[in-house]
Amino acid sequence: MSMERVAQDGLVLLGCGKMGSAMLAGWLKGGLPASSVWVLDPNPSDWLRGTGVHINAGVPDAPAVALIAVKPQMMGDALPTMAALGNSKTVFLSVAAGTAITTFEGALGAQSPIIRAMPNTPAAIGRGITAIVGNAHATDADMNMADALLSAVGQVVRLEGEGQMDAVTALSGSGPAYVFHLIETLAQAGEAEGLPADLALALAKATVGGAGQLAEDADEDPSQLRINVTSPGGTTQAALEVLTNDTEGFPALIRRAVKAAADRSRELANG
């Protein structure tokens, strides 16, 4: 139903870079007709040109949704091109980090339905998770449409309020980078223990990828999965004694890292 509304009334995609392309690929694969999509982007990629969508050909009069996927610093230039669609039934859906709903209301009209979303980069392989929150004019049907669109690139969760967005940004938005860094440091530690670099990296990638998948698929929670692989007095326990250290271990370190990201997100939102 939700995607039928998009197919029928059309979708405008403002900015088709990494995130915009990942979503567009998901929608087209899911059966959205290319003729229903109008993309605005100053430098369309070869991939985009091959999709058959409308490129820099204006926008329909009353599209179901205008999805905003430009960098926050380009917002001031980009939003005025959408203002004609404001204060109507067209739903504005933004994936831009750090741009508040009030900013969109100011640029697009306070009566516009606006939904703010925070995706993450595993969206590129359909394994993202996106949190969404709408303003007072976003109806249940609008939220369901956003949910259906973003489900093309992974899971979707709904927030109780925009105030949760800084914490979400710090956890799942920025989180993939923390995990990439874990892979890097795990591989370096393996090298320090005598492994060749390429072997250490292959082991680290597969360990993080496999454990992540297991944590998502298993019925047990991650704490139990950890306990299951920790024999008393064994090798895993020796490492966990280091990692769970109160002052220097993972809990304190990750807490500080996530707090730094959330604080930065609040600062950016306040200009």
Contact status: 66 vs ligand NAP (CB under 6 A) = no
Residue facing ligand NAP at closest CB distance: 17
Judged by CB under 6 A, which of 64, 69, 85, 93 binds ligand NAP? 69
* Stretch near ligand NAP under the rule CB under 6 A, chosen from 71-79, 204-212, 229-237, 240-248: 71-79
Q: What angle do CA 6, 154, 76 make, to 5 degrees?
A: 60
Judged by CB under 6 A, which of 29, 71, 158, 256 binds ligand NAP? 71
In angstroms, the Cα distances linking 58 to 28, 78, 111 are 20, 13, 23
Contact status: 173 vs ligand NAP (CB under 6 A) = yes
Q: How far is the CB of 174 from ligand NAP (least distance, A)?
A: 9
Contact status: 70 vs ligand NAP (CB under 6 A) = yes
Q: How far is the CB of 255 from ligand NAP (least distance, A)?
A: 22
Contact status: 6 vs ligand NAP (CB under 6 A) = no
Q: Which is nearer to ligand NAP, 19 or 149 (CB)?
A: 19
- Which residues in the 197-256 window bind ligand NAP by CB under 6 A? none
Judged by CB under 6 A, which of 24, 59, 78, 165 binds ligand NAP? 78
Q: How far is the CB of 88 from ligand NAP (least distance, A)?
A: 20
- Which residues in the 103-122 window bind ligand NAP by CB under 6 A? 118-121
Residues that bind ligand NAP (rule: CB under 6 A) add up to a total of 26
Contact status: 17 vs ligand NAP (CB under 6 A) = yes
Judged by CB under 6 A, which of 20, 86, 113, 154 binds ligand NAP? 20
Q: Which of 125, 94, 104 is nearest to 21 (CA)?
A: 125
Taking the mean position of all CA atoms in its chain, how far away is CA 80? Answer: 24
Q: Which is nearer to ligand NAP, 68 or 200 (CB)?
A: 68
Q: Which is nearer to ligand NAP, 91 or 118 (CB)?
A: 118
